[in-house]
Structure 1
């Protein structure tokens, strides 16, 4: 069994809280590191997520890896998207119609 690590980026448009971490993180781009165990059988290859880390700035300004559950990350991203959609709908609702100008 071997492991592999992949890096990707996610963007949050709004401040967010992830998983059990109490402090809200600011909106912005974050690098995500996912580590998977690679299971190789005689006729298949499969992987199992064993760790997910989010690169954040610590309280002292130094970068640090924050261990998160990948499902919590997916939930936070979905919530950010919902916030974005709600904001767009609010702006549309507040725009006056052409007849009222």
Structure 2
């Protein structure tokens, strides 16, 4: 069967962990390699995932030692969703407490108070 490797990079903006396989890692860009095999006998191209491997540590962190850890795709999805939620919460908090936002709310409040 024909196999293929698909490489991509994931960016975590906050420290993260993935399932039980990967303990807390620093924020950064991580190389992800997905190995797939061609499903033969179909009238169209289709691939079956064989493995999902995350390279530790993040790209750009100077170290001669690298680990390639097989991770469950669902655990990886959960880690990415948590990271996105944390970033979204931080952006919301920043927006709520930014100077311009606070000034706009103060103006709205002043305009809503009857004379």
Flag whether TM exceeds 0.5 (same fold): yes
Comparing 84-93 with 18-27, which one deviates more in the overlay?
A: 18-27
Structure 1: state its 5+ residue gaps: none
- Structure having the higher strand fraction is 1
Aligned to 2:48: 48
1:68 aligns with 2:71: yes
SS in 2 for 1:90: helix
Structure 2: state its 5+ residue gaps: 58-62, 107-115
Return the offset for 1:53.
Answer: 0.5
Q: Highest CA radius of gyration, 1 or 2?
A: 2
Q: Kindly report the root-mean-square deviation, in angstroms, between the aligned alpha carbons of the 2 structures.
A: 1.6
Matches within 5 A, 1:8-23: 8-21=8-21, 23=23
Aligned to 1:98: 103
Question: How many residues are aligned here?
Answer: 97
Give TM-score, length-normalised by structure 2: 0.76
Give TM-score, length-normalised by structure 1: 0.85
Matches within 5 A, 1:18-33: 18-21=18-21, 23-33=23-33
